Structure 1
Amino acid sequence: MKKTFSIISFSILLTFSFLSINSCNTREDTVSCFPNSPISVNLNLNLAAYNNLNYVGQPVYIDEQQSGTRGLIVVRVQDSPASFKVYDRNAPHLCPESNTTLEIKDNISIVCPKDNATWILITGQPTAVSSVPPKTYFWNYDAATKNLNIYN
């Protein structure tokens, strides 16, 4: 009887350990299965492709080398001093799938097409479905040259 109980206990413990390692439980800022990739992007806001970033509330998709697994959303949130938000396009609350790439809607919100989770574009604050904000990255802006460096 003791041996059977030990085997059953061990099996249950092993099963729960496996589930907790491979599940998408939330951690501080994203699900545990969120991809970790290097972010190192330099944007010259003098170029036409990034002109929107010279204005508050005008987002730009960044899909260059070293801009994450699915790219970034960048938006200027303040003029003086210049301030930006840089969001990863992977949904922060779901394990990555083909339909979990975040999209901008009406230049006021970010939406996950899979479950319609939404966030405020300027702040990243969740408004529906998810309580986790989009993953953000560090940035440094040189106003004299209009160069925006994004990194993690």
Structure 2
Amino acid sequence: MIRIQDEIDPQIRMATPKGDFHLAMQLPGSEREREALLARLKVLMAWKQVLGFTWACELFEPDAVYCAGVFGREQHAALMRIERSPRPWRAGNFGAVEWLPSEAIDPALAALRPSGPVALTPAQVSECQRWFGPDGKFPAVHMDTGELRDV
């Protein structure tokens, strides 16, 4: 998890045939911009043939950290409630893990993972490089090597 100011931005770990990638994203405030960014992420997942992924973020209602995992037909989600004080935060600021039913995962989140092969245009691949490549706004990090590489 990466803390930006007072928010924990979404952290995504994607399992691909070429190894796992980590991606940290700051979601835009505008719903339209957020949907556009998630559409780009969906294209990236299709391009990289993502087998499964986890999405960890902060929730405001309930006040908690949350993680969802989507792999094939399996979907799991859990949260830990946060007590915001005292600071700095320690283990005691977080409640026990609460497992959630798979229905608690937003269908739009689960739909990010490709269900099969997808034909992509050169423009879509180029856009993925611009957003998630080494010089992109949200570069994908190869977990085994720590490298920022062409996605």
> Greater strand percent: which structure?
2
Q: Does the TM-score normalized on the shorter chain lie above 0.5?
A: no
Q: Name whichever structure is richer in helix by fraction.
A: 2
**Larger of the two Rg values belongs to structure:** 1
Q: Give the TM-score, by structure 1 length.
A: 0.27
